[in-house]
Chain A
Amino acid sequence: MSELKQTFRLEGASCAGCVRKIEGALAEVPGVEDARVNLADKTLLVQGDATAEACIAAVKNAGYGAEPVRVSERERREQQRAEEQRHYRDLLKRCAIALGLGIPLMAWGLLGGEMMVNTPPQQRAWGVVGLLTLGVLVYCGGHFFTGAWRAFLHHNANMDTLVALGTGTAWAFSMLVVAAPQLLPEAARHVYFEASAMIIGLINLGQALELRARGRTSAAVEKLLELQDPTARVVRDGREEDLPLEQVAVGDRIRVRPGEKIPVDGTVDEGSSLVDESMLTGEPVPVKKSTGDFLSAGTLNKNGTLLFRAEKVGAETRLAQIIEMVKNAQSSRVPIARLADTISSIFVPTVMIIAVLAALAWFNFGPDPRAAHTLVVLTSVLIIACPCALGLATPMSVMVGVGKGAEYGVLIRNGKALQQASHLDTLVVDKTGTLTEGAPQLTEIETDAGFDGSEDDLLRLLASLEQGSEHPLAEAVLSAARERELTLLETRDFEAITAHGVQGDVDGRRVLLGNRKLMEREDIDIGDWQKKVQELGEKGSTAMYASVDGKMAGVIAVADPLRMDATSAIKRLQKLGLRIHMLTGDNQGTANAVAKQLGIDSVHAELQPEDKERIVGELQDQGDHVGMAGDGINDAPALARAEVGFAIGAGTDVAIETADVTLMRSSLHGVADAIELSRGTLRNIKQNLFGAFIYNVLGIPIAAGVLYPFTGALLSPVIAGAAMAFSSVTVVSNANRLRWFKPEETA
């Protein structure tokens, strides 16, 4: 019976008669093997390979409605895990049966039992063993033979081909010995049934262990999926009910109580609470959320009750997008794998040719018994060659590496970005929002002796003037006035003078705020204030002159405070061997002051937004491998131009879509994490590739018998089978070592 099952939600079904009618209608649909209606939850379970459309049409024709039940990603994952578990047990069972025959046979041979066929009783006894081995080949290794055959019909050859040919040849030769020993020289009448059974058993065991190990490589996605609660408490028509997530629609009002997870993305309508967003942003401190604030699915509500409106559900939530991106990146290719890919594509036929050539060499030039040696060499070469280890070398490391990145809030777009990040030697950093908070604050205000008022009076005038300005520094002046609870005054004739400052009439007084050029233009004597302005600039602040009614009134200084962890992150990046270039639109003095505080040597100041891309290009022309870290929105061209663009966007949608690496945490430490991780992953990939290459490069000649002149013995096909089975497990296990990766900051 087909294992394909589909579930539909029914409409209009209410009685046993409906059940009979619907089940009867489904029975007529081609491909339906079984259809059961569950009247209690009004669902229909269809087994078989009929299409969903055909099933729905049949239900409709019967007079009812049906729609497919959407299975959540988490449920789907659980189903797949159950399927994997079943396959794992199946492989172990096949392994046990094959080894159950192979081990006693091998022990018999090792303990001196007769493995030659010379007499009719021996023929009969080994004939029975041969049939038992055939049973093992069919039951425990049948999938290798069907796979090999189907691949053959498609002009393709894969691991199944090698296993089927190796074990099949050993069995066929042994049966020839049993059936007609007289056709072969006496010394060559050896049977190899134990080899066939052992190889099948060991390869099944290898596949089972590999399946287990591979399950662990996707642990990161599992963890992300676990962030998603399966139900949400929806408030509809004044009633609250727990609904499966698939039934939550945009616009639904959802209640989240303390300790519960936010089920979908939305905006708070009522209530306030602390929300732990560390799982998405890596920021350990919970964020206060109240009316109008955005909530992300998967984050944890800590202490209050929130009522919010769903805005994004299902695959649209930020969490779902992150999961999708991680999954895509995990299965993407890495450029370094190109050689392995090329070799993989010609590997199996090449090994088959080598096996035939080696067998011919032994047949023509080998010592007696030639036929037996020929067979052993043929089988061993076919069996020891492992295309899987080669094929798995990069994907497994990428899978674990990308997943590990997601755990630390580093979302890597694809394998190419991962590889390029490991080669970077230069990092270009946009100052605002990356090294600094991106929200300038008023740091200093001083009044001139000639000004007829207090600091607050001057601030009130300047803030009133700046009401009309869109300059980022204006916000700093306005928020300082708000903090001091100053009432703003009416402003007229506001004018922003490019590269100079602003001017206007505030409450009937002529107010100017800007740089020295503005004061010179308006013939205002700045007295000794220039020295003070210089001092402030050296501290990293942007200082401006203020004048009222044509006289100097004072200076104010605004600074964008450095991020708490910027200095340590820069140190860490420099330790990783990166040269740091800081880009900013600030004047040279302010930029130098910030760079000095952070220990950055190279500063590019007074830049226009379009200059950033040009500088990245110039550095690349010098031969540098350049990464660029910015906020993902204003720096988009420079991020795209760099070999790796790191968007420090706290996971904004734009950043996720455009950057090579998105850092969920608003910290430059994320760039260092990403670079450390990419280097660790590339190292792991190289180990795997080296191991897989060396394994095949050494293994195949040894199986072909190059050591025979020194050892006087050929490699047993059983040992070849064991080596092959465990080579891919070794690769996957080595990739799994990346799971213990810890960035230096947290290590």
Chain B
Amino acid sequence: MLTLIVNVAGLLLIAAIVWWFWIAGRSGKTGADRTVPAAGREILVKDGVYEPDRIFLPAGSPATLKFRREDPSPCAEYVLFPDLEVSAQLAVHEVTEVRLPAAEPGKYPFTCQMQMYRGTLEVE
């Protein structure tokens, strides 16, 4: 009986991992950030996540994002927008402005150098 319970629990755990990190994470979340103009708010870099991690911008015009890094670990030191060829070094306990060029509509991931911090810029 114990063997069955452990095995079922293990398989459920695997299913939960797949669902939570790969399916639910990509299917989109609430549109709460959609209403807030990205240029007007700060993106907090702390404890392994960008907050918010989904940023919405209008297509065709350059924008400036403000990153406030509160995590002194080196992981958080850089933010990269590889598809836009933009990167910036973030100062600890300070707001760093990152200028983005005008972009076509689409999704542009942004990450730290080690890809542990992850976010998506959605240009609409």
**Interface assignment of B115: CB less than 8 Å from any CB of chain A:** yes
- Of the candidates B10, B24, B48, B91, which one forms a contact with A356 in the assembled complex, judged by CB atoms under 8 Å apart? B10
CA distance A649 to B9 in the complex (A): 66
Given contacts A360-B6, A363-B6, contact A155 B25 (CB under 8 A): yes
Q: Which of A76-84, A124-132, A482-490 contacts B (4 or more CB under 8 A)?
A: A76-84
Given contacts A151-B49, A331-B113, A333-B82, contact A87 B18 (CB under 8 A): no
Residues of B within 8 A of A160 (CB): 47-48, 116
A155 near B24 with CB under 8 A, answer: yes
Tell me the total A-B contact number using a CB cutoff of 8 A. 136
A331 near B47 with CB under 8 A, answer: no
Given contacts A83-B93, A344-B114, contact A210 B74 (CB under 8 A): yes
Residue among B6, B47, B48, B78 facing the most chain A CB atoms (10 A cut-off) = B48
Residues of A within 8 A of B118 (CB): 154, 156, 345
B48 near A151 with CB under 8 A, answer: yes
A364 near B3 with CB under 8 A, answer: yes
A154 near B53 with CB under 8 A, answer: yes
**Interface assignment of B88: CB less than 8 Å from any CB of chain A:** yes
- Of the candidates A360, A388, A390, A414, which one forms a contact with B10 in the assembled complex, judged by CB atoms under 8 Å apart? A360
B21 near A157 with CB under 8 A, answer: yes
**Interface assignment of A722: CB less than 8 Å from any CB of chain B:** no
A331 near B49 with CB under 8 A, answer: no
CA distance A387 to B91 in the complex (A): 24
Least distance between B116 CB and chain A CB atoms (Å): 4
User: Which size bracket describes the interface of A in this complex?
Assistant: 35 or more
Least distance between B8 CB and chain A CB atoms (Å): 10
**Interface assignment of B13: CB less than 8 Å from any CB of chain A:** yes
CA distance A90 to B87 in the complex (A): 28
- Tell me the residues in window 82-105 of chain B with beta carbons closer than 8 Å to chain A beta carbons: 82, 85, 87-89, 91-94
**Interface assignment of A614: CB less than 8 Å from any CB of chain B:** no
**Interface assignment of A214: CB less than 8 Å from any CB of chain B:** yes
- Of the candidates B6, B13, B72, which one forms a contact with A86 in the assembled complex, judged by CB atoms under 8 Å apart? B72
B91 near A87 with CB under 8 A, answer: no
Given contacts A156-B118, A158-B116, contact A356 B47 (CB under 8 A): no
- Closest residue of A by beta carbon distance from B21: A349
- Of the candidates B20, B29, B78, B93, which one forms a contact with A331 in the assembled complex, judged by CB atoms under 8 Å apart? B78
**Interface assignment of B80: CB less than 8 Å from any CB of chain A:** yes
Contact with A along B47-67 (1 / 0, CB 8 A): 111010100000000000000
**Interface assignment of A392: CB less than 8 Å from any CB of chain B:** yes
B49 near A150 with CB under 8 A, answer: yes
- Of the candidates B48, B87, B91, B114, which one forms a contact with A388 in the assembled complex, judged by CB atoms under 8 Å apart? B114
Residue among B10, B74, B89, B117 facing the most chain A CB atoms (10 A cut-off) = B74
Residues of B within 8 A of A333 (CB): 80, 82
9 A-B pairs besides A156-B53, A414-B85 with CB distance below 8 A are A84-B72, A147-B47, A147-B48, A158-B48, A328-B87, A331-B88, A353-B17, A360-B6, A387-B116
List the 8 closest pairs (A to B, CB-CB), nearest first: A155-B25, A391-B114, A147-B48, A331-B87, A158-B116, A87-B72, A344-B115, A395-B113
